[in-house]
Amino acid sequence: MAYNTINRADKTAPTGDWVGTTDTQTLTNKTINGSSNTLSNVSLTSAVTGALPVANGGTGSTTASDARTALGLEIGTDVEAYDTNTAKYNATTANFTGTLQNNGSNVVVDSDIGSTVQAYGATLTSWGSKTVPSGDAVGTTDTQTLTNKTLQDYSEVVFTSLATSIDPLNGSIQTKVLEPNTIFTSALSTGQSVTLMLEGADQNPPTWPTLTWVTAKGNFAPSYTSKDVFILWKVGTTLYASYGGSYA
């Protein structure tokens, strides 16, 4: 002991035990500084208290939620939350093996276009500036009733008939060369009319459907010439006819 006392005569004796280089001891109230110190086997669970700042490699937080926020990884704001459908994305094929959804609704994928959703079309784009009609759209061949319409710039159709049906769908002015034993039938509906220009009625007088002649003498059929004009129209269930004269 004389040797130890001599070597440490200039040192203040510690209040506790001396620290040994290999002894298992607890150090209290110590500050370790300098750049050559190395600490090992430090337990981050029991030996470190408080929150390690982000600048020092920590998160500055004591909860997982606060840590994600501090690191800019807040779920739903900075990163996408886990979803079973998102998890089905195949990064290799860039395809989804499940149904992609957005807020509970299915998202349209390429295979839906032209099948369950309308594909893009330049013609459809032009409809974007149109006002949606309050009724049904009008089709070119559909049988429809138009109400409150003003027709402009339309032309009458002159139809050369080979048939015996007087049908206004064939044209409002119809011509026909009569053959022997011609028997006319009517396809007119109430409110429709047709002008007939007939040739050869004097040689081949036609048989008319049930109708009422409108002449200066009353309900009497006119006398025929080689070229005659007749106007037929229907009101309710009655078919009317008027002789327009000869154009020979």
The mean pLDDT value for 227-245 works out to 97
Cα 221 → chain centroid: 62
Q: Which amino acid is at 114?
A: G
* pLDDT of the residue at 8: 59
Give percent of the chain above pLDDT 90. Answer: 32
* pLDDT of the residue at 210: 96
Contacts (Cβ under 8 Å, ≥6 apart) of 247: 197, 227, 228, 229
Q: Would you state the structure tokens that stand for residue 171, as one six-digit string?
A: 């044209």
Q: In the structure, what pLDDT confidence band is assigned to residue 207 with cuts at 50, 70 and 90?
A: very high
| In a shared domain, residues 163 and 242 | yes
| In a shared domain, residues 212 and 231 | yes
User: Is a pLDDT exceeding 90 seen at residue 148?
Assistant: no
Q: How many domains does the chain have?
A: 3
With respect to residue 221, please indicate whether it lies within any of the assigned structural domains. yes
| In a shared domain, residues 102 and 163 | no
With respect to residue 131, please indicate whether it lies within any of the assigned structural domains. no
| In a shared domain, residues 70 and 97 | no
With respect to residue 128, please indicate whether it lies within any of the assigned structural domains. no
User: Is a pLDDT exceeding 70 seen at residue 121?
Assistant: yes
| In a shared domain, residues 242 and 223 | yes
| In a shared domain, residues 174 and 209 | yes
| In a shared domain, residues 168 and 235 | yes
Q: In the structure, what pLDDT confidence band is assigned to residue 31 with cuts at 50, 70 and 90?
A: confident
Domain limits at 102? 89-122
Poorest-confidence range of 15-29, 78-92, 202-216?
A: 78-92
Give the closest residue to 207 by CA, choosing from 175, 171, 179, 244. 179
| In a shared domain, residues 96 and 165 | no
| In a shared domain, residues 227 and 176 | yes
The mean pLDDT value for 185-200 works out to 96
Which range scores top for mean pLDDT: 81-90, 108-117, 190-199, 217-226? Answer: 190-199
Three-point CA angle 65, 69, 72, nearest 5°: 140
| In a shared domain, residues 168 and 211 | yes
| In a shared domain, residues 78 and 98 | no
Poorest-confidence range of 77-81, 181-185, 203-207, 237-241?
A: 77-81
What does the pLDDT look like over 57-66, one tens digit per residue?
788 888 888 8
With respect to residue 234, please indicate whether it lies within any of the assigned structural domains. yes
Q: In the structure, what pLDDT confidence band is assigned to residue 174 with cuts at 50, 70 and 90?
A: very high
With respect to residue 17, please indicate whether it lies within any of the assigned structural domains. no
